[in-house]
Amino acid sequence: MNTKIRKPVKFTAFELVEDSTELIRSLVGRVAAGSPLEVVGDEERMDLNYLVSRSHHETMIIRVEGDSMCPEIGDGDHVVVALGRSPQPGEIVIAKVDGGYTVKKFRQREFRLYLVPSNAEHDTRELHRGDQILGVVTFILKKAA
């Protein structure tokens, strides 16, 4: 394991996604990932609140700072977090450790729990008494290049 001290991941500019159909709405259509499609009158209204929070009532959007989860989650990306949801091994979680918050993959080995970065330059951390999983990441909203 690399023992270099790295800048911790911080979360800023978070907001609760309320159960309101007017908070986030968007007009969408289709785009081809293969041969080009002609899009004619194929728009629909999409309630983004429902999309991001349908699996869990309490949902939060958080902006990520740092590179410990690259390339999956990059600096400036946003994650949608289902608060209070119990994680399964391999899921990405938001955890409170040492009085701060971090985003990592949740792993379990025998009777021990770990927070694992995607970026090998960062260290895996074992969860201890007092550490807390706040929720599970359900969507990653990538920052535009």
Within a 13 Å sphere around the CA of 127, how many CA atoms are in the beta-carbon half?
A: 24
Exactly one of 68, 86, 118, 142 is catalytic; which is it?
A: 68
**pLDDT at residue 9 is higher than 60:** no
C-alpha pair distances (Å), 55 with each of 43, 63, 86: 25, 20, 13
In this predicted structure, what is the pLDDT of residue 144?
81
Q: Are 72 and 30 in contact (CB under 8 A)?
A: no
36 vs 135, which has greater pLDDT?
A: 135
What class does CATH assign to 10-18+58-141? Answer: mainly beta
In this predicted structure, what is the pLDDT of residue 59?
82
Exactly one of 104, 105, 142, 143 is catalytic; which is it?
A: 104
**pLDDT at residue 49 is higher than 70:** no
Element (H, E) at 53: helix 48-53
In this predicted structure, what is the pLDDT of residue 30?
62
Query: Span 118-135, mean pLDDT?
Result: 93
In this predicted structure, what is the pLDDT of residue 93?
96
The answer for 53, left when phi > 0, alpha when psi is -120 to 50, beta otherwise, is alpha
C-alpha pair distances (Å), 42 with each of 31, 38, 99: 10, 10, 48
- What's the chain's average pLDDT? 76
Query: Span 88-107, mean pLDDT?
Result: 93
104 counts as catalytic: yes
- Rounded to whole angstroms, the Cα distance separating 113 from 14 reads 27
